[in-house]
Structures are given as structure tokens and as C-alpha cells.
Structure 1
């Protein structure tokens, strides 16, 4: 380089080559993460130039895209987005201006990506309008935005629908925000009304002076308050007790923003504690609640049952043969028997239930939060079994029974006195029927109880005699060829006739018969599948439902595998269908059990997909092979656009997650055609076939295995 200064000003001479601008631009464009392009303004956006970034973006090389050599960008663009993208670009072309549009593309390998396209309509060297722009992958950013949006929706839903009051307040005692639950607790019609009206928490809310000051003092010293109990005024002047949990919210630099916390109405608990302080509420011998506390528990239970729509069940228990033991062995032995029975009754109930001793050998149970008669019956059977277990008194073993009467709110009475009276009447009816049994006050409930007990007894006998049959509903692919079957239990009793699964499955679950019933169905289904698959090039998959209650045991995997090994069917020919309810108890344990099934080679299917709220999270947590779209998302899709839209979304989600998508409940050709167009893999429903005995499945397969309609 040579520098030369003259009177006319500085100048410089560069002893280097002239900058190759074309080369720099070409290098820059072809090394960007994304695709630069120029295309014609025609029906398929014919590419004139495409940068080398196309391969990474969509899986097609520049050569394959230019001049429609292999594929058009129109076809790469997702079908549902094409019209929107075209309109956006056409508006830019009309105005000879810029555009920016987000949409989806399908890569050469079938992967769905979100992209952003920025471009401009310009005149080319010949004066023709062309489109030039740049397209880049924003799938990751889109996922983050979607996750943030979902998180915001979940937070808003929790805030709006929480049963606890939620608030934000200032140091000087003003509410900044409140949720509907807090408004209800304080007697306001809306959260906005509460915030506007309750502007002085110290004087308007707390009954006891200085409570707000104590609240703020704890906040300043500890940064939080826990179980801060206070008596407060509601809007109408009535008093309630509340418990607050709150903390200080600070900004990034530690500056105070607000107090934030939750409020619970603890009036019932507080009043209960106060009542305990005023009177002795427990039986001295057994430690159980006495009549006074029993009445209080019944009143609380009635209020809760009326509010939530559950049954409240009162159970009157009178021990059989107690007088014989008490008179023959003495009062000490009688007292020991009462204490033993009291402990057994308490151990049979949940924490929300009550067992009270009301005098002599009489007990009363208060059972809350039942919404099915069958669960009450199951509990009563358990109580009877506990009472009649042998008890050792004075060195000898005795066995007592009980006569039990049952009355239920609201059908048998709406107040404690009426319900206790009717339960007592039912108890005497139990004595007349031979003791050691239970009777409902209502004739219809007695009939239901008798039917349920008879059904359970018949089921036990049918299982012993191997009387349960298995029918199979075919699953077909888009060409209507049978690719699998779902095994379904069927039962015809000699005395009771045909009994539907909706009747015997709940009884099996509640009585502990679900495991032997499932194993019986598995053995029959595996045996039939082994015969069907003998010599088949492509095995026929057999699907079997697993009840969520099977996951309560520790050996479900070993027991299913033992049947499979005994029959001689490979596990990769078996689909195990579950519903999301398996995760509602111990979800971690359920996932571990399913992972073990997966490791053994079974295929796993999520049944009834789309009917619950947690299915999406479990699709993420567990590698399911199949999702079965519930019939509720199929019924009416040919008539209602909203149903069709939801079904389309469910199928798209399944395909995006690389799952086999099965549609249940297909009942007409219009539904079948729609689901085919959306990419559904397999189909099941009455249009194709009702559940059939094994012999008819064998005949269908022998005839070619294609369903015609």
C-alpha cells in the first residue's frame, strides 16, 4: 500500500485486487441458515434461483427446486396454509412492496416445520415482476412461543378456577388483583367488584384490630406468612374465619412489588374446634365420636353433599350376639369386644368418613362423597367382613356378626333425625332377614344391592367354569384390509341371560375380580391370535384393554407375560390399550409399569384419546405407539365443522408425534372417507364390523380379510 498526500488533499492507492462483490454475495447467501430465492409470480411460484440453504431447510437441493425440476414450493407448503400465504404475497405483489408470513412446510423426509418468509415484489432485469425473499426455520422458536402461551393459559385457568382465593395486595392495604374464588369467600359477585370496594383491608376486612399490622410485620421479617388465621367480615357483615398463606413478590433488583397469596375459608373447621372445647364429644370406652359429635358430622356432611351433589350415607350397625358374650363372659370381655370392633370400623373407612358409638353395641357410620351406589355396597361388604373376623376374648376365639341398616341423603331423608330413624328401621329389617347382612331403607336400592351381590357371585362361578367368551372387533387400514382386532369380553349366564360389559366390568373392578377376568380374556385372545397368525406374512395384531385397577398390584407385568409365554404368542403381536385414568393415582408408578411392558416387546395404545385433560402430557412422558381417537371426536364430523376440526387436529397431532392413529366409532362412509383424507392409519366401528366370535373372524380372514361396505 502506498500513501501520497498533496496540496489537493489526501489520497490512497490500494495495491490489491478489486473487491469481487458477486463472489462475496454468493458466499454470503449460500452459507446463511435458510433459503434465499427468486421466483416467478405464477400459479406454483416457479423458482428461478434458490440458495444452497434449501437442502437444510426442506431436504430438497437447489437443483430440485429450480424450474420445478423435482418439486414445487407450492407443494412443499402445507395444504392448510397455501391460500393464506398466497393472499399475503399477492397483496405485496399488487403493491410492489414487502411481505412477511409464517406458515408450515413438509420436508422431503416428511417432517413438518414452521418457517418465516420475508420478501419483496420487484421488477427483474427485463421489467417483469418477480418475488425475492428469504425463508428460515422457526420451528424451535414456535415451540417455545406455544409452550409460553400454554403456560399462560394454564396459569390463567388456575387463577380463575381455583377453589382457593388468590390475591395480590399493596403494603398500605389495597387489593391489586383477586380471583373469583376470593370474591365468593368475601361475598362479592365478582373479583373486579371486590378490588374496587375493599380498598382498606385493615379496617374493612379484619374483625380484630392489628391483624393487618401483624400480617405486614411477618412479611417484612420472614418474607412470608403461613396459616395466618383471622376472623374477617364478609360484604354483608357476617363473619367467617380464613387462613392465609402469602409471600413478598420482588423485582429483579430486589425492589418490593406486592404481597401475593391464597385465602381459604376455614369457618367449618374453626367452629368445629370451638365446639370441641365446649363439650366432650367422644365416647370414653372406644374413643369414637359420641352422639353430639355425630350430629355435627352429619350436619356438615349434609351441607357438603347438598353443595357437591354426592350421596351422604348413614349406616346403623347393631352387633349380633353381643348380649350373649357380655352376659356370659362379663363386661370386661364385652368392653374388649366393643373396642376391637370400633378399631376395625375406623380402619375400614376413609379420613373423610365418621364412625360413632351411639350406645351399647350400636354404631353409626357417616359415609361422604359417594356418587355411585355400587361403591357404598362394596364398603358395606368390607365392613361386614371386618366385623365377622374372629376376636379373642378371655382366651377363647369368638365370631360376631352385625345387622346393618342404610339410609341415604337425599332419597331417604333431608335431615339427620330422619336419616337416623330410617337407617334404624332398615337395621331391624336386616335382623328379620337372618342377621349378618345389610338392608337399605329404600326398596329400589335394596333391589340394586341384591342384584349386585348376585352378579358378583355369578361372576365368580362363571370364572371358575371358564364361561366368559371373547369377541373381536376388526381394525382395518385405509384399503379396508383387516390389520388387527380388539378383544372384548362377553358373558351369557344361564340364569341371568346376556350381561353387558357396562354391568359386569364395574362389578369386577369393585370386587377384585378384574385380574382373573383379564387373564381369562388374555388367554383366549392370545390363543386365537396365535392360530390366526400361523403362516401369515404380516401378523394380525390383537389388542386387549387393561383396567387401571390392574396397576394397583405389583405383578401385573409378570402375570400377563406368563399367559403370553404359556400360549406361545410373541409380545410384538399384542397391543395393550390403556386410558389416561391409569395416571390419575400414582402416575410415576403407572409409567414405570408401562415402560416394563414396552421393554418386554408389547405395543402400547392410548385409548379414548381426546376425552381427558392430561393425555397430552402423558404422550410426551411415555413413548406410546398408538393413539385411538375416541368415538366422541368422530361422531358427527361429517355434519359439524367444529367436530371435524377437532378430529383433524387430533390426527395431525398423532402423526406429528409419529404415532399410529386409530379412529374408533366409525359408523358411515362419509366419516371413513374424511378420516382417510386426514391421514388416519386404522379404523374401527360398526360401519366396518361389530364385535364377532373368533370363528367369524377366521372366516373373514380366509375370504381375504377385506371389509366391504
Structure 2
């Protein structure tokens, strides 16, 4: 719907110099937001807690509040309640990872202007902040204009007609006796078209009878209508209707009965005074937030949360009506190869095309969901027999086998499909999903590209449950390999280090990556044994490099939190280095941010022992966890590695800033080195170099390569030092 616009335009300098308060208990997010907004000219202050925010709000003047909902102590909703009760003159934008619809709806009810979901898109955040500040100044300039008018009939007319709300007066029979100018903008009616007409002419026919009662409110005081939602009809014969979004208007109604005393002093009802506010944009925003909470944003398919809800409904319906339904667990074959060779952007396009093809063969009542990565799950309710499910599976497999032509690449794909039918394969949602997963692994183990129904024989065969069944034997049979990815100085393209990366050459499933087996290794406690094997293998390889006359190269190893919790981890690590007579300065360990934020005493102790011995410590995938300046200050950390997802956001847009900027600024303040991972193009390389990154790694230089290939690479140009030559 259209809304009334003020004629005056805002001064850009005035907007950018606005005072903004950011409230969040995650310090890294605070600092990155502060850097992002300050770069764009805003004045920014920070608060770590709800109580600190309230104190600053009481003592200072702000135009905009960026507020997290989930905080210890006083949370974001309580801060919003304070802002509303104190009638503070500012706009609020919620920036939160809490995407539950009730929380967002409650924040809007408490007066929030807009909502941004974590992790946020920097460009979207800046645009939302700009709109919020602009809205603040427009509202205040309108208020200033109204306050400058005298207390006269002209003043009251200005207030009513400049209101963004549709204001009306009804007589005792429900006939319009007054409507303000806003009725034309909101509903497409001229004022004289409604005057003298009954209010029912604009009430949507689907509204319940009580909505008519609300619109023609006769009660007054505390019992009068407050914030009642209803729909009004738009004038379809109006020339303005073409510019409207819909033929109905969703409004929030406030109405009260109007009374006066007659000649006898008796209080007599004389009509209804009401105001209707257009909340269409808010409802669309709520719908958008709800969609984000229950859908995968890449494919627009339902996510795991919505799928589980549909599954529970199917279970209840099937039990009540003694019917069957099926779950199909689907996984693309060799999808990681596409990401590794053609990049993640191509991988995303493939997932979108695959989901579109599958949807072509489904009924309206079926639910296709994306569980993450290249995994999809399909719910087929009310199936007549097993053969009908097999027919759907065959159609899906045939559709996926058809070549995909994407960005001048012709791709050939296949898929593994595991099928579980209720109640034979399980009587709960969790059991059915596990059964379908087992059946899918059965297909993978038997050549891929096909489908399989779950059978009870799979239950006793742990071979299909998880990859952990043969982890131990894989170590004994030396099925694991250590690959190396070069770390490069972005200034001269010289190789300054290597990251050791684990691969499992499975005899049946092919080359497996850490995400395929590390969770199983950690849960089975084989991670400690596997970690020692990796360290020994890396040491053996580094000795080979020395024997070939290769200059010393620093190698980093990824270490699990499970390993660091072992009280003798650092001692064993040091003993192995001494056994191979290798300098500790040639080693670094990388641990994910999520492994550090709990601040376990034993973990800190092991890290400190290693750093004191000369092994450097890197936080891997920085920015993806709950960053805290306090733990960075207290931990023996040397380097922050910017997560590849943030590097991927770097684009050739001079007006756009990235989370990488904030991380680099934080590292500089803490005197830490910065490494950029996932570098795929020259623009990203130049951007990270200008940020002050000391090292980078990514497909622009090299993917992870075998030990033999790594040694050949390091032997290149030994006089100048191993290096890369990039196109200009």
C-alpha cells in the first residue's frame, strides 16, 4: 500500500552522523558492527548487557538502537519494554540469531522498527540502518512541523490529515460523518465517496462479526478496542488501485465510543471515533521472518524444523487412519567434487536446479526439504503401496541423471535414495529418518546411483549406521592420508607454510573428507589416536623435505577439542617433535572458535604449554562462533583465520564492507596475525592484502594436494623460495 511521503528530503550528512547504540553480548559482533558502521560515517557506542544498554539509554541521546534478543540477565525484549515505557525518542532494529516467530513478533509488538537475522548480510544491514535513521528523522521533522503550528483548528486539521492512519467518525447508525485525507492513500476512496455511507461497505467479507463490532465500538475507556487486526476493502474502481499491492488492506484498529451529556445530564452515545493503521508492511515482514525460520534460504525448500513438523502431522494422521507414508533420504553422489573444482557458487546453483527437478514429480501434499549440504529428505504421505514409492524414486533418479547445463558447464549427477515406510521401518519420526539414512548408506556401499528400501537386516549391520564402524581398522590399514594446502604470502606469492588436512581413502566409498568421519571419530574417542597418527605422519614428511634440501616450511595441524582435553596431549605432542628432532617453531595448531569459547581450564593449560614450547596457536574459522574479546585476551593465541564464508562475501563493490574488515581490525588491536582462507579470485586476494592479512590460502593458489605433490611443489625454484605466479 502507498503511504504519505513528506515533501522535504533528508540531508545525507545529517543521517550518517546519527548516534547509534549497539547492544550484544558477543564482543566480536559488536566490534565488527562498530567497524562497519563507522566506516559508513555513523557515530557508534556499544553495550555488552541489557542493564548497560538501559543505563546508556537513560544518560544519552540516540537515533537508532541495534539490539540482540538473547543476552544473559536483562534480555533484548526487556530492553524494548523499557524503551517503550520510557517513551524514548529512537528507532530500534533487532539483530538476532533468535529467529523464532514468537520472539520476532513480540519485538515488533514492543515497537521494533525492523529485524535482521544473524549471520547478517553487511549490505542488507547497512540498508536497513539507513532506512531506520531516515525514518527517525522524517518522523521527527513531521513532529517539529506540527508543534510549530498554533493550537487552533488549523493545527488539529493538520494533525488529523497528516496522520499516517485512516481516522474516521461514525454516527450512532454506523454511517461515516468524518474521514481524513489518508483514506485516499490507503483505500483509494475520495473523502466524499465515504461520507454518508455505512462502514460495512469497506469491511472485508471474510472478517468475523466481532470485527464489525470493533469498527463500530461503543465502549469507552479501558474496555474500548485496542490494536485489533482486521482487513478492509480497497476501492477497486479507483485509479490508484493499480499501484496498490493487494485488493485488501490489513489494519490495526483503535476505536472508542464517544459520549456527551444531554439536557438532563445523562451520558448519551453519539458515535464512534477510530483510527486504522496500515500494518501490511509489518505483516509481510512477519511472514518473511516466519519463512526464513522454517525454510532453507538457498533452495526455498522447507528446512529440518518445518520438515519435522510435517512429519509429526503425517505420523498423527497415519496412526489415526491406519495409513502408510514414506520418507526418502537423498544424497547427491560426489557433490563435494563440484564445490572443490568449480567453486561453491556453482555448487549452490546445482542444489537449486536439483531441487527444482525433484519438485516437478511431487504432489501438492508431499514435502521436500533440504537438511543441509547435498542432503534432501522427502515425505510422501498417504501412499497406497510400496510400488508407488518406488515409482517416485525412479522418476527422481532419472530426472537427476539428465545433464545439467549451468554457466557453460555440462554436469552429470547421480543420487543415492534410502526409503523408509511407516510403520514397518519405524513408528517414530526419529526412527524412520534413521532407517531411511541406513538404506541410503546401503545404496552408497553398493555402487551409488540408486534407491533401496529399509529392511530389518540393516538394523543389526552396524556397517550402515555411521562411518565409525571401520575407523579403527582404517588406521591400522593406513587408509588415511595427509594432504597439504599451501599458505602464501599475498605480497610476493611465496609459500610460507602448509596446512595438513586429513583424508580417508575408503576402499568402497572413495576419498572421504573430514566432515564425513570426524564426528564419528570424536564420539568414539578415536580422535586422540587419529590425531597422534596425523602428527607422526606430518613429522615423517617434514623430515623427507629436509632430506631433499627443501628450506624449512611451517606446518599447521587441526586439533580437536577432544584431543586438547587429554591432560597429556601437550606432553605427547612435544615428545613426538623431539623424537623427530624438529623445531617447535615449524609447527602451529589450529582449533575452531567453537572449541575455545567455553574456556575449559585443561584446554587453556595445554595450549599454554605448547605455546611456551614454541608452537603457535591459530583460531580457525574465526567469526563463525560466539566470539569474545575476553577469551582472546586470556588465551595463548597468535593468529586468527578468517572463515572462508566471510572471504566469499568480498565482492567488487566499493560501497560494501565485509565482516572480514571487523575481524582484521580486532586482530590488529590485539596484535594478532591474520590469515584469510578460501581465496578464489584476485579481488579477494588484493582486498585481504590491503586489510593486512599475513597469509592466505585457497583455490586461487592451490587446492589441498597429496604429500608427493606437495614435495614437488616445494622443490620448485629453490633459489628464490617456492612461490606461485598469478595472472595480472
TM-score by length of 1: 0.42
Greater Rg by CA: 1
TM-score of the superposed pair, with normalisation by structure 2: 0.41
Determine which structure has greater relative contact order: mean sequence separation of CA pairs < 8 Å that are 6+ residues apart, divided by chain length.
2
